[in-house]
Amino acid sequence: MADKPDLSLLAERALELIPNNSVVGLGTGSAATAFIHALGARVKAGGLSVRGIPTSDVSDTLAKQLGIPIIKFEDVEHIDVCFDGADEVDPNGDLVKGWGGALLREKVVAGYAKKFVVLVGPEKLVPVLGTRDKVPVEVVPFALTPCIRHLTRMGFVVTPREKGDGLYITDNGNYILDCKTGPIRDPHGTDIAISAIPGVAGTGLFVKRAHVIMIQDGTNIDVRKGSAA
């Protein structure tokens, strides 16, 4: 397996987009982890005052360890800016997310943020969504079997995600179905169709969600508009 790219330079650059005294959405995954480390160092140095809303228990624990104050939605009216990675980014700036298992909370936090910034390496850029591998779909346990049947009828190859001797369980207590979709020519329509299946809690298709996409390739950082810009 190839080593994950070092996105520390990208994380440092992303800090420039954070207003002081703001509420920041903290994503999940390798890019988000690099960002949380950079943010924690800046907070510790006294250069930035923020409060964070994490998208997973893992990110929550890391942020607290690094001294980033954590709050809940009950404490604020909005999120100023959310930073997260992605598993695929197409030329329109639409995304596939959720390979790390936090897709539902990631979509909630991004959806309530005034600005959603995506941090990726060039390997995540694809000509069309569905190119690299899979689209995760989070489902409630009660509906696991009918959701598998429905997604299979839609033409997807569906595999329940496993961990250890059982199924992977999300922070929400749900399961994830990894769907091999092939190229997705209509991400918006596909997202609507999957989301309409009874028992589906969320999809890994993030359509018209990202405002800014930052791509680190070596020491070069390319900043692009996302599909929500």
Q: 8-126+207-225, which class in CATH? A: alpha beta
Which positions are catalytic? 106
The pLDDT of residue 3: 59
Dihedral over alpha carbons 24, 174, 227, 75 (to 10 degrees): -30
Q: How far apart are CA 34 and CA 61, in angstroms?
A: 14
DSSP summary character for residue 22:
E
Architecture of domain 135-204: 2-Layer Sandwich (3.30)
| Cβ–Cβ under 8 Å, residues 212 and 225 | yes
The pLDDT of residue 228: 96
Tens digits of pLDDT across the chain (229 residues): 445 778 999 999 999 999 999 999 999 999 999 999 999 999 999 989 999 999 999 999 999 999 999 999 999 999 999 999 999 999 999 999 999 999 999 999 999 999 999 999 999 999 999 999 999 999 999 999 999 999 999 999 999 999 999 999 999 999 999 999 999 999 999 999 999 999 999 999 999 999 999 999 999 999 999 999 8
Residue identified by tokens 């942020």 is: 63
* Angle formed by the axes of helices 30-44 and 57-65, nearest 10°: 30
Q: How far apart are CA 211 and CA 26, in angstroms?
A: 16
Q: What ranges do the domains of the chain cover?
A: 8-126+207-225, 135-204
